[in-house]
Each structure stands twice: as C-alpha cells, then as structure tokens.
Amino acid sequence: MDYFPVFLKLKDQPCLVVGAGEIAARKIELLARAGAKITVIAREISPTVLSLQATHNLTLLQKSFSPADLGEFRLVVSATDNTETNCLVAKTATDQNIPVNVVDNPELCSFIFPAIIDRSPIIAAVSSGGAAPVLARLLRAKIETVIPPAYGRLAGLADKFRDKVKQHIKQPAQRRIFWENVLQGSIAELVFSGKEQEAEQQLEQTLLKQKENPNLGEVYLVGAGPGAPDLLTFRALRLMQQADVVVYDRLVSPEILDLARRDAEKIYVGKQRQYHALPQESINTLLADLAKAGKRVVRLKGGDPFIFGRGGEEIETLMQQGINFQVVPGITAASGCATYSGIPLTHRDHAQSCTFVTGHLKDNSVNLNWTQLAAPNQTIVIYMGLAGLEKICQSLIAHGSPKDLPIALVQQGTTSNQRVITGTLETLPDKVAGQDIKPPTLIIIGTVVTLHDKLSWFQTRRLD
C-alpha cells in the first residue's frame, strides 16, 4: 500500500485550510462533516466560503500564510493555486509532524482524502468507526466481489498514459470525460481479459480521435422520484454521478442531491407559488448554454419529468438547438405517495380509472373540468393543490360529489417526514387549516382513501 488508511477523529479538533476558493470550499465541507473546528487563511475569500462561515462556524483570517500560523492545529489542508505557498505549508506542517494535504499534489502530502461514500456511520474506504465492525466487514466483502483484481492493472494503464492525455487534452473537464469513457468501456474490458497490449493500442487510437473531435455537451432530464433516495433508478444515479452540472428544483431532497458527484456544480432553479428562482424560459436557455459549453448537465426534477414537470418544454429548446439529450423517467408523486400511504390508485371495488390534475394553472387559477372530476368510481390525484384545497372541495361538492367523499392530503410522501391527513370533502379543509403543513403535498380523492387504515404499511406521522 502506498497509503495506510487511517480514520482520524476530528470532532471539535482545530484544523487549518489555506486557501478559500471553490476547491477549498469542498474540503471545508468534508472536514465540517467530521465536526472539525476550521480556520481558513487566504488573502481572498470566495463567496462560497463566506456562505459557509455561519453554517460551520468558520474562523476566517484574510491574510497570507505564515509558518507561525500553524500553532496547535491537528490537520492542515493547502488548497491554493500558488506553488510557493503550497510548498511552504507542506514543509512547515511536515517539520511539526502535522498531517498535511496539498490538493492535487501527492508529493507534498502526508495524507490524502479517500473517495468517500457517506452513509454514516459507514464510510468507504471502509470503516464503521467501531459502530458496526461486522457490517463493515460484510460491506468490504461485497465491494471486493464486484471490483475485479484487474482494476490494479487498469490503474497502471491510466498512469502510463496520464501525461500523454494531459498533453493532448488541455481542459480538465474534457480529460475527466475521456478517462470516464476509457475506464468503464471497451478498453477496460480488454484489460480485464488480459489483453493489455490491445488496450494500449485502442487507447492511443481513442486519444487521437478525441483530439480531432472533442466531447460535446449533453443534457440528462432525470426524474428524482417523490423524495426517498432509494427510489431513484440505476440510470438516474449513474448519470448524476458523471454530470459536470446539476440543475435542480425545489422538490429535490438534500439526500438525493448529495448523491450527485461531489465536485459537480449545483444550480438551484426551484419554483414555488408566486416565486420562481428562475423563469422557465431562462431555465430552458440555461440548459442549452451549459451543454453548448461542453458540460454534461443533469436536469434533476422531482417526480417524473413528463408529469407536471415541464420536461417537454425543456427538451423542445434542446431539440431546436441541436443538443443531445436523454430523458430518465422517475416515480411520479402520485404513485409514490399513494403507495407509501396504503392508498391504491385503482381498485375493483372502488375505482376503475385514475386522473392526474394540477392544482393551479399557468395563471395560478384553479379552473378545472369539475363535472368530469366529480364523476363516481374514479380516483383523482391533485398535484400542487394545497393553496386551493378549500376551493377544490367546494367545487367538487357543487358539481355533484357527495360531501362525505373521502379525501387525503399527503405531506412529503415516501420520506421520514411523511404525514397523511384524511377526511371528507366537507371536513378536510378545516383539518388542514389547523396543521403546520410542509410542502410538497399531494391530494388523493375517492373511496380508495378508505383503504388507508387497513393497508397503511409505512410508518408515518399520521393525523386523521
């Protein structure tokens, strides 16, 4: 082993980060997750690091680094673009036996940051922190079975070509895409089958083609599902972990966003009633511009992109501008929330059809086909209907629905914060008015709601 894996206990321990750019910000986030007390030294503090100051109680010193600054720090990270500063930090820390990491310069490091999968208390490269050593051992065994021993030879091939690739492909983002294609494509398979000479020849040819035809950007329109991270599809997860940029909306949970590649740029374009972080037309243009700049872009949308997700509008723009894209379906909120609430959307004894509607139109009105929605023997699912709940119930009653027709409101379905409030068209608005409802919410109307008590299987904070 070139490095001995050690897990340091940094909770409440003083750590120093020299530099305050975007790379430094990522290291600060990692150290903060371990509970470190972080001091940052830099002549210029980026807005990203400034935004982390209050969240992580950072100590910011706007100055040049001096050897006298090390003091009693337990660990030091240098993340500057100044070679002299990085060398000075490394030498000073080494002389004082303080573990030091100089980002992207292994020769100056006494420790490196491993690739981290954060499923606390399980961290890979694998440790349970003493909390579950048997589980850690089982997990390690599983990882060993899915990663062939030939991965070492594949790493050797990558090392052999590293300088040549860097010389031919100047842009770091394009190099990353190149290596991702090499390390999980036909070249890797040649190495795994022992045909290393053929792998080298194919890599040479691929590099020449790459120089002549650089990678073009593309957009992945990905459904993030109703909220629970483990309801993502395999394809969604794979594309999230290779994207350069993630453009996400308000309904994407932090747990799902955390599954994206750690160093991917994340852009929030969420919408809520009477407030849009970015108008839809601007989002369409943003996706196209990012792709034209050579980026691989995940457009991450709650639920399914084509069910009240405006996915069609976004890909229209991409098609008009000749940009490559693909669409990854997600579990829509109606299916996810109904299932986790124990409310079948169809049932032979209750509903022979199901209708999805949105609770407000483009002009924020609630003007639906009430006569059709009031017909019996069906289930109605209303997205984004919380603000118009009272009018929805009144309109259905006015168009022939019985006052005692069962109705349920599901808050943050499929997550640990799920709540299900049941009632009738006559009683539910008053019940909801007295509750602190946290969006997103979904409304389910029909006699299938009566099955909730019998079929409810997911533990919820239920109020009825």
Among residues 357, 427, 358, the alpha carbon closest in space to that of 397 is found at: 427
**pLDDT at residue 161 tops 60:** yes
43 annotated binding-site participant: yes
- pLDDT digits 0-9 by tens, 336-361: 999 999 999 999 999 999 999 997 65
385 annotated binding-site participant: no
- Per-chain mean pLDDT for the chain: 88
104 is catalytic: no
Beta strands in 284-412 (DSSP E): 296-301, 324-328, 354-358, 379-383, 406-411
- Top-confidence range, 85-94, 170-179, 292-301: 85-94
211 is catalytic: no
302 annotated binding-site participant: yes
What is the structure's pLDDT at 240?
A: 93
1 annotated binding-site participant: no
- Catalytic, out of 37, 244, 249, 301: 249
332 annotated binding-site participant: yes
**Residue 276, C-beta contacts closer than 8 angstroms, at least 6 positions apart:** none
- Catalytic, out of 271, 391, 431, 464: 271
23 annotated binding-site participant: yes
304 annotated binding-site participant: yes
Supply 123's token pair. Answer: 């961290």
- The answer to whether the beta carbons of residues 251 and 304 sit under 8 Å apart is no
Q: Say how many C-beta atoms besides its own lie within 10 A of residue 444's C-beta.
A: 26
What is the structure's pLDDT at 341?
A: 96
- pLDDT digits 0-9 by tens, 55-110: 999 999 999 999 999 988 999 999 999 999 999 999 999 999 999 999 988 889 99
Q: How far is it, in rounded angstroms, from Cα 269 to Cα 36? A: 31
